Structure 1
Amino acid sequence: MPGIEAEAVQLRTDEAVGGQVQVRVTDTGTEPFTVTSVAIDSPGFAPLPDRAVSAAFEPGRTIDLPASYGEAVCDRAAEPAAARLTVVRPDGRAEALRVPLAAEVLGRIHGERCAVRAVLAVADVTVGSLAADGDAVTGTLTLTRADGDDRPVTVTRLQGNVLYDAVATTDLPRTLEAGESTLEVLLEFTMARCDPHALAETKQPYLFLLGLQVGDDDEVPADLPLDQAQRDELAALVDRACA
C-alpha cells in the first residue's frame, strides 16, 4: 500500500510470551500518521480482535507493534496475509486499512503448529504424576493412541533448557508400536543452573523440546505439555535445589 509497509517478525520476547508476533510498520510516504489498532489477517489463523496501540509515525520511521495470532487453520496457507491497521491522519481522519503483510514468519509458525497437530491426531501426549523426589522432580510422559490410526509414534528426544535438565530415565527413542494403545516414558527434571543470572534472566523456564515422529515421517519438535500445577512443582524444585 502506498505510504505504508508492514512485515511480521518474531522477537525473543514474542517467543517467550507465545501467540504473538510484531507487525513491523514503516512510514514510506511523505506524511505522518498514527496507528491506533493492529491485527493479523491471515487465512491460516483464526481471526482475533484488533489490539489497541498508540504509535506515531513520521516519514521513514519504523515501529514494531505487537499483534496476537489465533489458532492455526491447517487446511489453509498462512499467506497471503495482511495487517489490519486503524490509521489516523494529521487532519484527524481515521481509516481502517488492510496493508499487505510480508509474513514468512507466520508461514513457519503455521507449519510448526500444524505439524504438531497432525502428530497429536495419531497419539495424544500428556505428562502426569509429577512429584518432588529430593533434588529432582519425576513424572511420566504418556502417549495414548487415537482411534483409527495404527501407525507407530516414536518419542525421539527430550531436551532441557537453560534452567532445567530434562531426561527420560528409560533410553530414547521409545516407540508406541502398531497395535499398542499406550506408551509410558519416565521423566526426571533436575537443576541445570542455580546462579542468579540464570534464575533471573531465563525467559521460558518451562519450555522443553519433545521430539515426536509418526512412522517414517520427519521428526516434529513439540513443546512438552505442562499445566500450571506441574510448572509450580518445577518452581518449587528451584527453592529446594538452589537454596
Structure 2
Amino acid sequence: MKRPADLLCAAVLVAGLAACGDEPEREPLPSGIVMHVDQTRLERKTRNVFVRVENNTKSPLTITGFVLSSPRFDRVTWQGDESMEPGQQADLEFTMPPGRCGDGVDASVRLTYRTGDSDERESVGRADDPFKAIGLLLDRDCARKTLAEAADLEVGTPQVEGTGPTSVLRVPITLTPTGKRDDVRFGGFESTPLFRQAGDSPVDVDEPISSEQPTRIVMSVVPARCDPHALAEDKVGRLFGMRVLAPGLPDNSWFYLPLDGDQQKAFYAYFRATCGV
C-alpha cells in the first residue's frame, strides 16, 4: 500500500509540476543565528539598507545568499560569500525596493549558509527591525505615494530674502492636482539639525490640497545653529520632513522633501553666508 505522501508526490508529477524531492529542505535556523534589517543614519537619504546576521554559535558561519520577503516590498534576493567567526556579525547590503503602505516590516529571510565544514543548507527565520529604521523608510514611501496620487510635487529654486543674520531662505513648492483623489491634505514641514522652520513657515497645519488648481506653499528656514562643526559634521541637515494627512495614514506620516543637487547646494551656501563660516 502506498503511503499518503507517495500518493501526493504522484499527483504532483501527474500535474506536471516539480517532484517532491526537488523542494529544498528547510531546517530551522541553528540557535544563535540572529537576523535584523536596518539602515545607518549616514544612509538616510539613500535606499541602501542591509540584513545584519549575528553569529552567536560556536562554529564559523558562511552566508552565500538570502531571499528577503515582506508584505511591504517586493522580494529581495542577495548572493555573495560572507564568512564570520563565532561572536562576529556581517551586514549584507542591498537596495530597498519601493515600499507599500502597511504596518511594521514583518520580514522573513530564507538564508543559504554553511556552518563549519557542513554542506550548504537553507533555513527560514525572522528578521526584526530593532531601531525601526526600515519601518520609517517604508512609511515615508507610503506618505510619498499617497501624496503622488493626489498631486505632482515640484520644488522650486531656493531664494534668500534679506541679508546677514536676519535673512531667510525660502523654497517655493507647487502641488499640481492629478484629479485621482481629493482627500489628501498637507500637514506642514519639519526642521533638521542644521535648519529650523522660520516663524512664517507652515509647520503644524491641516490644509486641503486643491483638486482643481495648483496649491502653492513656501517653506522658510533659518540656521538652527551657527558653528563650523554643525556644517562640517552634517549628514541629515537637508532632509526636511513633509507631512501628509489622508484617511488610513498614521497621524505623523511624512517623507523627505526631494531636493536636487543645485537645491542642496543653495542651502549650504545660505548657511555659510548667514553664519559667516
Specify the SS of the correspondent of 2:267: helix
Specify the SS of the correspondent of 2:145: helix
Give me the whole-angstrom Cα distance separating, in 1, the residues matched to 2:226 and 2:136: 34
**Which of 35, 46, 60 in structure 1 is aligned with 2:74?**
46
1:138 matched to 2:174: no
How many residues align structurally? 238
Specify the SS of the correspondent of 1:240: helix
CA shift, 1:129, in A, is: 2.6
Task: Note if contact 1:3-1:27 (Cα within 8 Å) is conserved in structure 2.
Answer: no
Give me the whole-angstrom Cα distance separating, in 2, the residues matched to 1:203 and 1:196: 14
Deviates most, 225-234 or 192-201 = 192-201
1:72 matched to 2:103: no
Give me the whole-angstrom Cα distance separating, in 1, the residues matched to 2:123 and 2:141: 25
User: Which residue in 2 is equivalent to 1:34?
Assistant: 62
Task: Note if contact 1:213-1:220 (Cα within 8 Å) is conserved in structure 2.
Answer: yes
1:213 matched to 2:226: no
User: Which residue in 1 is equivalent to 2:260?
Assistant: 227
**Which of 109, 118, 125 in structure 1 is aligned with 2:146?**
118
Specify the SS of the correspondent of 2:147: helix
Within 5 Å, which residues of 2 pair with 1:160-239? Answer: 160-167=191-198, 169=200, 171=202, 173=205, 175-176=207-208, 179-214=211-246, 218-239=251-272
Q: Relative to 1, partners in 2 of residues 1:14 and 1:139: Cα closer, same or farther, differing over 3 Å?
A: closer
Give me the whole-angstrom Cα distance separating, in 1, the residues matched to 2:47 and 2:248: 30
Q: Relative to 1, partners in 2 of residues 1:194 and 1:154: Cα closer, same or farther, differing over 3 Å?
A: same
Deviates most, 33-42 or 219-228 = 33-42
Structure with greater strand share of residues: 1
1:86-124 alpha-carbon deviations (Å, 9 max, x no partner): 53554485x364541233444554344224322331223
TM-score normalized by structure 2? 0.69
CA shift, 1:208, in A, is: 0.8
State the Cα RMSD in Å: 3.4
Within 5 Å, which residues of 2 pair with 1:56-67? Answer: 56-58=84-86, 61-67=87-93
TM-score normalized by structure 1? 0.77
Specify the SS of the correspondent of 1:102: strand
| Percent of residue pairs bearing the same amino acid type | 23
Task: Note if contact 2:186-2:209 (Cα within 8 Å) is conserved in structure 1.
Answer: no
CA shift, 1:37, in A, is: 5.5
User: Which residue in 2 is equivalent to 1:81?
Assistant: 108
Q: Relative to 1, partners in 2 of residues 1:139 and 1:96: Cα closer, same or farther, differing over 3 Å?
A: farther
Give me the whole-angstrom Cα distance separating, in 2, the residues matched to 1:167 and 1:213: 22
Show structure 1 runs of 4+ deviating over 6 A: none
1:5 matched to 2:28: no
Task: Note if contact 1:46-1:73 (Cα within 8 Å) is conserved in structure 2.
Answer: no
CA shift, 1:230, in A, is: 0.8
User: Which residue in 2 is equivalent to 1:156?
Assistant: 187
Q: Relative to 1, partners in 2 of residues 1:115 and 1:81: Cα closer, same or farther, differing over 3 Å?
A: farther
Deviates most, 158-167 or 8-17 = 8-17
Within 5 Å, which residues of 2 pair with 1:93-108? Answer: 95=120, 97-104=122-129, 105=132, 106-107=134-135
Matching residue's letter, 2:228: P
